[in-house]
Structures are given as structure tokens and as C-alpha cells.
Structure 1
Amino acid sequence: MPKSPLILPSDPSFYELPPPPGSAPSPSLEERLSSLRDEDEEEEDRQEEEAAPPRAGTCDSHVQIFPDPERFPLAKDAAFTPGEHPVRDYARLRDRLRLDRAVVVQSCVHGTNHHALLDALEHLGAERSRGVAAVGPDVSDAELRDLNAGGCVATHFQMREPWRRIDWNDTGRIASRVHDLLNWHIGLQMDGRFLMEVEERILAWPGRVVLDHIGCFLGPVSDRDPGFRALLRLIDADKVWVSLSGPEVSDPQHPRYPHAERLARMLIRFAPERVVWGSNWPRLEAADPVRDRLRPDERHLLRLLDEWCEDETLRDRILITNAAELWRFPALSGETPAGETSVAG
């Protein structure tokens, strides 16, 4: 079937299309205040909610785990010391939020040592978790196969300073190796304002590419910005997916994150089949202790997703259907989705 021509949000005809769920304006001040008043009632019901079973198939697509550093030492050149945030703490959070599945992303502080990642995947369970490794150009085929058997389905390119560990010139070779050997995806974190500078490079990588943190635009951008236009072109080319995670990474305006919200709503409208959601737990990005204390909890982030979508069917598509396709989870019937190989390959 021929693809429809790409229509950018800056084109007036973009808004003449039937408004999909998630395109409505933000709630009014009165609605927000009403929501805050309802939080006390929600707190009273919290114990009952926490006892409820998870919603089948719902997925948190961006989690990092920081276990006991005595058992799982940090890399000698780790850019920061994260403290201890073990997998058991995340598992309790997952259950409170009634999430069913999780994708654990290798942290830069562990370098290319994946012992902590594999331990987390083992504890979370093969049917309920997937991993995103962070391999270097010298990784062996044997290590890649071991990571695949442990539940990994992608490798991560962290290209932000001071956390970057590989050179841009190595990315193409790594992407080709993991795709050809295991059919892995690529996870990518970079300042989205400069996507146009690496657009052709990304298009040349085989397989899918998943951009972290709503594209990780580390500064205000409009829909006419060259970086955002590059993102839309990459999505339209069936190359890129976007994780609606970490609004606090690019937007300091707690707790609504209006800049991140505007981008998220546009992406949901533009390609609802190419977005997933992630908590970014435990969210250790900010160096400002005030921002750390003000940072809302993950329940609030899920409520924001509800508002961005405003439609339960679309929300479930993002949390369940899209995530299952992207991360190769079994279908809810227990069968592997058509066209997908098992994680162990």
C-alpha cells in the first residue's frame, strides 16, 4: 500500500485532519485544581489499588537498575555515583503501578559490563522483561549471544557528554553487527536539536532505532525546528520509534512539563503506532537537588500520559500493543507475534 505524503505539524493541512485522541488542549486551571483535590481520595484507595493485579501486557519501556555496588561495581570512569536503587525496589514500584512488563536499559555507569543488567532481567523474569545492552566495538559474538539469551533485544548508543562511551564512527559497524547476528534494535540518546546532522547516518543503520526521552530535545524547539523535522522524517521513513520517557530531562517546569507535553502530543498525533512509554526510573538525571526533590512520582507520569492521550484505547496501544511489538514480548495469548523471532534467537 503506498504511503501517504509526509505532512509536518507546521503545515496548516496537518490540523485539518480529524483530531486523533491526545490532540485536545491541556486541562484548564479549574480541572487541574479538581485533579489535585482528588489526590486525597486516591491516597485513601492506594492500598486497594496496590493489591490489584497488573494490567496484562502494560510495559514500562525505560528503566535503569543500580544494585549494590559491592556486588556490581561501577565502571572506574563512571560519570556519577547513582546510589543504590536495586531491582527489588523497582519490582515493588511496578506492582504498585499495575505494570506487567519492563525494559531495563544498561546505565553508562556500568560501562560495557552487563552483570547488573542480566541480574535484573533474571529477577524480573524472562516473560516480563527485556534488556537494552551497551556494547562496544570490540564485543565478541559469544558475548552478544549470551546477552541475547539473557533477554536483551537492543544495544544503546549514549551520545551525550559526559556519558558517551563510543564514537559516532563506530556506531554503524556496531549497528550492523547486532542486527545481522541477532536482529537487535538500536537505542539512541542524543540532543534531538541536532538530529538533522546525523539523519543520514541513522537511516543507514539496519533495523529499528528507539529515541529516548521524547527525542531528548535539550532546549525549547518548535515544530519548525530542523531537529524536530528530522525526527518526523525518520519516523515517516519507518526507521525511528520514540520513548515518551523522562520529560524532566529536557523540561525543568515541574510538574506539568509543558515543553515536553507539547512535543509528546505532536508525536502521538503524528504517529501513535511509533511511540511507547517509560518511567525512566529512578530518574537520576538532574544535578540540582531542588529539582530532585520536586520531581513527581511515576504515578503522576502515568497520569500525564492519560492526559496526552485522553483516550483509553490509544493509551493501551502505547503501553501494550506498541511495546509488545517493539520489544518482542509474547502476545497475550502466549504465542510469539507473527514475524518475530524469540529473544534467545
Structure 2
Amino acid sequence: MTPFEKTPGWLDWHPRPSKPRFRVPEGAVDAHCHVFGPGAEFPFAPERKYTPCDAGKEQLFALRDRLGFARNVIVQATCHGADNRALVDACQASGGRARGVATVRRSITDEELQQLHAAGVRGVRFNFVKRLVDFTPKDELMEIAARVATLGWHVVIYFEAADLPELWDFFTALPTTVVVDHMGRPDVSQPVDGPEFSLFLQFMRQHPNVWSKVSCPERLSLSGPPALHGEQHAYRDVVPFARRVIDEFPDRVLWGTDWPHPNLKGHMPDDGLLVDFIPHIAPTPELQHRLLVANPMRLYWPEEA
């Protein structure tokens, strides 16, 4: 694979996202998005599992403004490995309107951690999705978690629902706030009251330091995207799962676009329609404000919350 040869089947981000009908509350935060390169400026990691399209900070900030958001939380993409330069560059260019979630290795120095903090990083991400990353020993991850806890950072975990029983003990031993990406990727063909998703809800109930992102319906759905703008049943099979998490844990939920939607095949979502999905899972202004403003501000900008 050459440095700039995009992985076959990879879809570029939506070139003309619609203007959402749902108006997000003032100060809303897109709490899960990424930057990819540009590869000529910020090369992708040699050990990456995929080569994405370029999707830089200028495009991300233009999308932020079009959708009506005030801020972003940029999550380090696996294609960049532990080279956080693209992430740091975007945070520094944001004028304080972006925070970051980095990927770090055991070898990182305290000085380098402080530099990431000064740039706006407030968390680290541990990825357990086997098709995306190689296994990192849990003792190394636990050592990293202990070090970033002293900075007040949190740990973001990305895993698939079937792996939660195996990972439970490790997750519950983490010494930080823990944020789960995309509700642990539930199988939405199963009942919302079924054993798999009930275990995830039990995980959140028993551990009040655990938060969840109720994002990525386009990644979880089997029913697919809306045929028309504003359709009432877009990604309808995901709604009961996200509603359950928001209703039970309204102060521990976050939402994000996941732009530019890594590793999606089949369809590339219209980010405006993803915003229009929000009132289906957070139907009241109070829940919308918690999901989009109060919660992410408390986690990423506590000095302003």
C-alpha cells in the first residue's frame, strides 16, 4: 500500500451535507470526530490497517459551523497510530474550540504528556476492535491510565458488545472516568431488553464513572439511512438503544458526528441528517442540552462549565 493510495472500498466524506432541520442548543459540542492528515503534511502510520481519504481541520471546522456546533472533541484516528500531530495541530488551530483524545504509548515522557495537555488533549483512547488495531498488553494500558489520571484525563474505550464480558474486569479497574464509544456497538437486531445490551446497561449502573457516546447510528443500523431529508424513521432500529441509555444516564452521555466516518462501506451518511436524528433519541430540550452542552463541557472544558 503506497502512502496515499486509499483503501479500496473506502468512501469519501459527504461533499454537501444538508443543513439540519434540528437546531442544536447554543454551545453544542460535537464530541466525537476525527482528522485524517492531510497525508502529505501528517503522514499516516506505517502499521495502520487502512489508508483513509484526507480530511483535515479546515473541512472539520467548516462542517462544525454548517451544522451549528460551537466546539469539537477530536479523537485520534487509528490510521495515525500514536503520532498525534494532526490532532494537536487541529486543536491548536481551533482557538480553544476543540479538545482532543490522543493515543499514547508507554514510552511517552511526562513532558510530552504535559505538551499534549497544553494543546488541549483531555483523554486517551484504548481500542479493542481487533480488525482495526493490534493488541496492546493490558498492563501497558493500565500504566498509561494511571499516568493520565494525574492530569485529570479520562479513558475512551472502543470495543464490540460481544467482547464486554472478557474486558469487564479490566474496564472496571481503570482509575479514571471511562467513556464508551458508540454504546459498545450493540447488535441492534437483538432486543433492547436482551442479555447483551442488558449487560452493557448493568456495566453503566454498577460503575458511575462510566459514560457512553450515543453516536454512530449509521454504523450500528441494519435498517439503513433515510430515503428523504427529515424522514421520521432514519436509523430507526438504533433509537430504542440510544433512548434507553439517555433516559437512564442523562448526565453521562455524549454525542458526536464521527466525521469523516472511518471504515464505512455501503453508504456515506449526510451529517445534517445525523443531527436530525438527535431529537429522536433526546426528545426534550433538557435532555438535548445535557447531551450536547452540559455533559461535554463538564468533561472537556470543566473550567468553563
TM range, smaller chain: 0.7 to 0.9
Match of 2:275 among 302, 305, 316: 302
2:210 corresponds in structure 1 to 240
In the TM superposition, what is the alpha-carbon distance from 1:313 to its structure 2 partner? 1.8
- 1:264 equivalent in structure 2: 242
Distance in 2 between the 1:176 and 1:218 partners?
32
Deviation at 1:285, TM superposition (A): 2.3
Secondary structure of the residue that 2:202 maps to in structure 1? helix
Q: Which residue of 2 aligns with 1:40?
A: none
Picking from 79, 104, 108, the partner of 2:74 is 104
Alpha-carbon distance in structure 1 between the residues aligned to 2:64 and 2:188: 31
Note the aligned Cα RMSD (angstroms): 2.2
1:155 to 1:114, Cα distance in 2 relative to 1, 3 A: same
Aligned to 1:177: 147
AA at the equivalent of 1:150: A
Shift of 1:92: 0.8
The answer to whether the 8 Å contact 1:105/1:133 transfers is yes
- Separation of aligned partners in 2, 1:72 and 1:58: 28
Partner of 1:275: 253
Q: Deviations over 1:160-219 (max 9, x none)?
A: 123224233422222112113x12100010002321222222111111111111322256
Quick one: distance in 2 between partners of 1:232 and 1:138?
35
> Amino acid of the residue matched to residue 72 of structure 2?
A
Deviation of 1:270 after TM superposition, in Å, equals: 1.3
Given candidates 118, 135, 139, the residue that maps to 2:88 is 118
Residue-by-residue CA offset, 1:47-77 (whole Å, 9 max, x unaligned):
9x9xx9x953210000100132111000112
Instruction: Report the Cα distance in structure 2 between the residues aligned to 1:219 and 1:147, rounded to whole angstroms.
Output: 37
- 2:25 and 2:169 mapped to 1: Cα distance? 39
**Larger radius of gyration, structure 1 or 2?**
1
Conserved? CA contact 1:214–1:260, under 8 Å: no
Report matched runs for 1:216-231 at 5 Å.
216-217=185-186, 220-231=189-200
Q: Match for residue 129 of structure 1?
A: 98
CA distance, structure 1, for counterparts of residue 116 and residue 102 of structure 2: 8
For residue 145 of structure 1, give the secondary structure of its aligned residue in structure 2.
Answer: helix
Q: Match for 1:268: what amino acid? A: I
Q: TM-score, normalised by structure 1?
A: 0.75
TM-score by length of 2: 0.84
What do residues 91-141 of structure 1 show as CA deviations (whole Å, max 9, x unaligned)? 111111110010000011111011111001112222x11100011122221
% identical equivalent positions: 30
In 2, distance between residues paired with 1:218 and 1:125? 39
Q: Tell me if 1:315 matches 2:288.
A: yes
Aligned equivalents of 1:77 and 1:314: distance in 2? Answer: 41
2-structure distance, mates of 1:170, 1:249: 29
The CA deviation string for residues 275-305 of structure 1, in whole angstroms up to 9 with x for no partner, is 111000011222x3xx22xx33111111111
Q: Equivalents in 2 of 1:241, 1:153: separation in Å?
A: 15
Q: Look up the SS of the partner of 2:238 in the other structure.
A: helix
> Are 1:200 and 2:130 an aligned pair?
no
Displacement of 1:250 in angstroms is 2.2
Distance in 1 between residues matched to 2:124 and 2:244, nearest whole Å: 27
Q: 1:145 to 1:223 in 2, by over 3 A?
A: same
Larger mean Cα displacement after TM superposition, 151-160 or 170-179: 170-179
C-alpha distance in 1 between matches for 2:71 and 2:241: 25
More helix as a share of residues: 1
DSSP 3-state at the match of 1:200: helix
Which structure 2 residue ranges, 5 or more long, are not aligned?
Answer: 1-17, 226-233
8 Å contact from structure 2 (residues 25, 288) kept in 1 = no
Once residues 224 and 197 of structure 2 are traced to their aligned partners in structure 1, the CA distance between those partners, rounded to angstroms, is: 23
Secondary structure, counterpart of 2:101 in structure 1? strand
Q: Is the 8 A contact 1:195 1:228 kept in 2?
A: no
- Residue 211 of structure 1: aligned partner: 180
Asked if structure 2 preserves the Cα contact closer than 8 Å seen for 1:193 and 1:226, the reply is: no
1:163 and 2:136 matched: no
For the residue of structure 1 that corresponds to 2:146, the secondary structure is helix
What is the aligned partner in structure 2 of residue 325 from structure 1? 298
- The answer to whether the aligner puts 1:80 opposite 2:50 as a matched pair is yes
Letter aligned with residue 276 of structure 2: R
The answer to whether the 8 Å contact 1:249/1:285 transfers is no
